[in-house]
Amino acid sequence: MAAACVLAAGLLYADTTPVMVSLLTPVQVPLRNYDVTGFRLSLIYGDCRDFAGFDLGAIGRTAGEFCGAAIGGANIASEGLYGGQIGLINWCGDPDGDEANRSVGAQIGLVNCSSSFAGLQYGALNVARGRFYGLQDGAINVTGGLVTGIQCGFVNYSGDVYGAQCGYYMILGVNIAGGSVNGCQLGLVNYATDMGYGLQIGGINIIASNGWLMVLPLFNWHF
């Protein structure tokens, strides 16, 4: 995938470089207004426009889109990720807020943050500010919009759920859906503002729109 991105980017952009080495931007070769289609090494902090290839360093930032693989202390893709980030802090954004332009790939690290995302987030804290498609696996998982897939952790929060929220070992967790759930919640405490079609299994189960069956032990449901 990275090789294909390198080739495509090299054909599309004139101001490109196959290699970039940065000490601390702007002390870098070449300057930050270049696209990288190959390899970048950021000893302290490096910055470029679009990136395609392999990124290695302490802190690496891409002002545009990132396509490929990044390994570092902090990996930042300002306008979308298509590939993977492995680091202490991984961040990818979508400034246009366009659902069709969501990032796709994997974020693996201590803290992972994205706009709308499709793929895997694995870490202590996983955050998707928009929608999330795939698996969020971490101590705390937060999605501002719709989760289509699975959240697995000690604390799971989402707007809506189409899939599942579950604690570690299925039950050790708190699951909160601020909107509607279509699927299941498994945890010590499960809360949903509304449930279309689904089931809650756990110690305390709350479906706010369920009338006199709003709070039940062991399980709650709506079909």
CA–CA gap between residue 72 and residue 69 (Å, rounded): 10
CA–CA gap between residue 83 and residue 97 (Å, rounded): 19
Residue 146: what pLDDT?
95
Question: Span 170-181, mean pLDDT?
Answer: 94
Percent of the chain with pLDDT over 90: 83
Average pLDDT value over all residues in the chain? 90
DSSP 3-state helix, strand, coil percentages of the chain (rounded to 5)? 10, 75, 20
CA–CA gap between residue 60 and residue 64 (Å, rounded): 12
From 39-48, 61-70, 80-89, 209-218, the region with the lowest mean pLDDT: 209-218
pLDDT digits (tens, 9 = 90+) for 131-158: 999 999 999 999 999 999 999 999 999 9
How many Cα atoms sit within 13 Å of 100 on the Cβ side?
Answer: 0
| Amino acid, res. 24 | L
From 50-54, 136-140, 210-214, the region with the lowest mean pLDDT: 210-214
